[in-house]
Structure 1
Amino acid sequence: MEKTRIAVAGAGYIGLEHIRVIRESTSCVLSAVVDPSAAAGEVAATAGVPHYRSLDELISKDRPDGVVLATPNQLHVPHALLCMQAGLPMLLEKPIASTVDEAEALVAAADRYDASVLIGHHRAHSPIMARAREIIEKGTLGPLVAVMGSALFFKPDHYFTDAPWRKAPGGGPILLNLIHEIHNLRMLCGDIVAVQAFSSNARRGFEVEDTAAIILRFASGALGTFLLSDTAASARSWEQTSQENKAYSSYLDEDCYAIAGTFGSLSIPTMRLKTYAKAEDRSWWKPFDASVAAVTRDDPLKHQMEHFGRVIRGEASPLVTARDGLQNLRITDAIVTAAKTGCVVDTSVAAAARRECKH
């Protein structure tokens, strides 16, 4: 089979990861690197592919089958529009856009162009997430009641001195890190319809938050809590528990999600499962049947790229759509609003259009 030719625009950290998994793929091949920097030219030379300084140059000289857009957030919309106009399928890194308004405009454009857009929420392609979702959808836990989640980690001081903008609004963990968690929770527990939140900058003293406590209401009626901090010396984060990214230390006894239904509970990513043997004999005085669900631990970026290849070839529809990307951003934005105002913020599409806030 002829390999699917994919170009990568943006040779920063995540762009380099996309280049890595394309070069390791058996069905896709790297066709070019697009980035105006000299360093990107060296990356392209090492990979043995052409280097282009702009998407316009790429499209006019060496049109690929698809493009990965791993460019800075503020360039996501103009670059995505250019690919739509050229009829190029794209893997657009998250967040879909810098603002909800821009994201809404981009989704409307995708509809007009009937564009093929996969949003780069790579954890959606995690085998752990797939297995957890399978257990929940099979009804093993019963109707969902509650979820507890956390993303607690410690960013070193140089993270902020290297990029001082991270000390200002927009640079905190709500907008930089939480959007990953929002998509995970939506995959596992369904749509989030309302949020409430507190945030604090008490530890670092920056203008932006370093910690947030969030309450979530799901369309099913289930409720959730989520603790987020980039100044907490803790391993209760996806990166430090999933064992998917070898750049992070991992701890086999830690979880970052606990999901409970009326019949049982699942801890993720250890996949510890506790269920009642008999539905009619459920009680907190009764012991659970305890087990560990079998799961494969593998690089979700690799699975995402193989999926993107299938999307390009018309063999699959995007697992994470532009509308998913919009809703993830909308919920994250609502959490920022809730933390600022003390309101319960409705995150439904209609309410988001009204920017509804309920005291």
Structure 2
Amino acid sequence: MSQKIVLMGAGLIGREHAAMLRANPRVELVGIADVSEAAKAVADEFSARFFTDVREMLDRMKPDGAIIALPNALHVEAALACVERNVPCMVEKPIADSLEAAMRLVTEAEKAGVPVLIGHQRRHSPDIAKARQIVRDGALGRLVAVNAMWMTDKPVPYFDVAWRRLPGGGPLLINLIHDVDCLRFICGDINEVMAFTSNAIRSFEVEDTASVSVRFAGGALGTLLMSDAAVSPFNWDTAAGQALYFPHQPENSYHLAGTKATLSIPGMDIWRHETEAGHWQHALVRQHVTLDGSRAYENQLDHFADVIEGKAEPLISARDGAITLATVLAISRAGREHRTVTVSEMLA
């Protein structure tokens, strides 16, 4: 018997969730809640009941689970409505637009014992999962240095939506948060950050470019370069071919360097010496890692179905999502205050 799922938010990503729900035989989309007039047409298209209030939808439909794809500032209230009704939910990233709101949800969800899955879909991608395994198995040796890039050129109409131009909606929280979460998942927690941020291209209240240095708990150092105003193939979304509405342009966006080898992602090539006696003047050997070809968003939905059925714990819980958020907010603070910021300082 399929699980009855409701969707909160019928915008860009909400509509994609609706399509994936329709395609998956394990679930059934039964309701959509959104305040926009256009959302009614989306509900009709997917044969779902339409509501303008999330609580009314939850009370009337009594779903098995809910997917929350609302603007960042509305995530926590919608998720709390689910927790209050013992409805497992999946919350699009970020978990919240502030750490205070995020921790409120963490507290209530843990107290009620209601599973909350945060929608960092890249954790469900085969390249990210395999990279984590490679690092944990010690195939790279001791991790020394990490480099990540997310750069693309967003079009002018993208910013017609006001919240994307305002604090709580910039590319740190919309985009780089994915890369931070991936690096946390693969390499371990980040303890401290330094950053330069700039809004020189668009002069919005939020940044358009950032250069970040991080120190991982395991001792490795990392650099992250982000811009949503630069023409580039160097972003995971297009490089991995996992994005829902972008072309696949094979490239690498992450490089993980260790004492034994280096891994590039999502190309999944390991570069190492042929023997342990090899050194810098010897040619390196390239080993390609084959993946299973599965799709991140589809894997995420299957995982959410498992969470609803009690077969799995959320791959990224509300608390885990809050730590990713705290790390990104530490980057934002470091850029504003021109100093090193620790993640523990944010969580304190």
Query: Cα distance 1:158–1:38, how it changes in 2: closer, same or farther (>3 A)?
Result: closer
Residue 192 of structure 1 is matched in structure 2 by: 190
Residue 12 of structure 2 is matched in structure 1 by: 13
Listed as ranges, the matches of 1:99-138 within 5 Å are: 99-138=98-137
Moved more, 17-26 or 53-62: 53-62
Query: Cα distance 1:46–1:163, how it changes in 2: closer, same or farther (>3 A)?
Result: closer
How far, CA to CA, are the matches of 1:234 and 1:59 in structure 2? Answer: 42
Answer whether contact 1:167 1:207 (CA < 8 A) is retained.
yes
Answer whether contact 1:128 1:297 (CA < 8 A) is retained.
no
Q: How many residues align?
A: 348
How far, CA to CA, are the matches of 1:206 and 1:85 in structure 2? Answer: 37
Choose from 264, 283, 288 the match for 1:292.
Answer: 288
Choose from 311, 331, 334 the match for 2:330.
Answer: 334
Residue 345 of structure 1 is matched in structure 2 by: 341
Query: Cα distance 1:163–1:48, how it changes in 2: closer, same or farther (>3 A)?
Result: closer
How far, CA to CA, are the matches of 2:205 and 2:116 in structure 1? Answer: 35
Moved more, 62-71 or 26-35: 26-35
Choose from 266, 270, 290 the match for 2:267.
Answer: 270
Answer whether contact 1:34 1:52 (CA < 8 A) is retained.
yes
* CA deviation vs aligned residue, 1:211-241 (integer Å, no higher than 9, x gap): 1110010000000001001111111001120
Q: Using the TM superposition, give the Cα deviation of residue 35 of structure 1 relative to its aligned residue in structure 2, in angstroms.
A: 2.0
Residue 357 of structure 1 is matched in structure 2 by: none
**TM superposition score normalised by structure 1:** 0.92
Residue 59 of structure 1 is matched in structure 2 by: 58
Q: Using the TM superposition, give the Cα deviation of residue 165 of structure 1 relative to its aligned residue in structure 2, in angstroms.
A: 4.8
Query: Which structure 2 residue ranges, 5 or more long, are not aligned?
Result: none
Q: Using the TM superposition, give the Cα deviation of residue 73 of structure 1 relative to its aligned residue in structure 2, in angstroms.
A: 1.6
Answer whether contact 2:72 2:168 (CA < 8 A) is retained.
no
Return structure 1 stretches of 4+ with deviation > 4 angstroms.
none
Q: Do residues 35 (structure 1) and 34 (structure 2) align?
A: yes
Secondary structure in structure 2 of the residue aligned to 1:316: coil
Query: Cα distance 1:72–1:169, how it changes in 2: closer, same or farther (>3 A)?
Result: closer
The CA RMSD measured in Å over matched residues stands at: 1.6
Listed as ranges, the matches of 1:1-359 within 5 Å are: 2-160=1-159, 162-245=160-243, 247-252=245-250, 254-279=251-276, 281-348=277-344, 351-354=345-348
Secondary structure in structure 2 of the residue aligned to 1:185: helix
Answer whether contact 1:242 1:297 (CA < 8 A) is retained.
no
How far, CA to CA, are the matches of 2:67 and 2:306 in structure 1? Answer: 14
How far, CA to CA, are the matches of 1:353 and 1:323 in structure 2? Answer: 11
Secondary structure in structure 1 of the residue aligned to 2:25: coil
Query: Which structure 1 residue ranges, 5 or more long, are not aligned?
Result: 355-359
Q: Using the TM superposition, give the Cα deviation of residue 319 of structure 1 relative to its aligned residue in structure 2, in angstroms.
A: 0.3
Answer whether contact 2:97 2:168 (CA < 8 A) is retained.
no
Moved more, 332-341 or 164-173: 164-173
The percentage of aligned residue pairs carrying the same residue is 40
How far, CA to CA, are the matches of 1:202 and 1:287 in structure 2? Answer: 43
Query: Cα distance 1:336–1:82, how it changes in 2: closer, same or farther (>3 A)?
Result: same
How far, CA to CA, are the matches of 1:30 and 1:259 in structure 2? Answer: 40
**TM superposition score normalised by structure 2:** 0.95
Q: Using the TM superposition, give the Cα deviation of residue 248 of structure 1 relative to its aligned residue in structure 2, in angstroms.
A: 1.6
How far, CA to CA, are the matches of 1:164 and 1:55 in structure 2? Answer: 22
How far, CA to CA, are the matches of 1:39 and 1:159 in structure 2? Answer: 17
* CA deviation vs aligned residue, 1:176-205 (integer Å, no higher than 9, x gap): 211111111101110000000011233334
Answer whether contact 1:76 1:92 (CA < 8 A) is retained.
yes
How far, CA to CA, are the matches of 1:14 and 1:188 in structure 2? Answer: 25
Answer whether contact 1:28 1:306 (CA < 8 A) is retained.
no
Q: Using the TM superposition, give the Cα deviation of residue 168 of structure 1 relative to its aligned residue in structure 2, in angstroms.
A: 4.1
Answer whether contact 1:100 1:330 (CA < 8 A) is retained.
yes
Q: Using the TM superposition, give the Cα deviation of residue 353 of structure 1 relative to its aligned residue in structure 2, in angstroms.
A: 4.1
Could you tell me which amino acid in structure 1 is paired with residue 72 of structure 2? N
How far, CA to CA, are the matches of 1:158 and 1:33 in structure 2? Answer: 25
How far, CA to CA, are the matches of 1:150 and 1:195 in structure 2? Answer: 16
Could you tell me which amino acid in structure 2 is paired with residue 296 of structure 1? D
Moved more, 293-302 or 264-273: 293-302
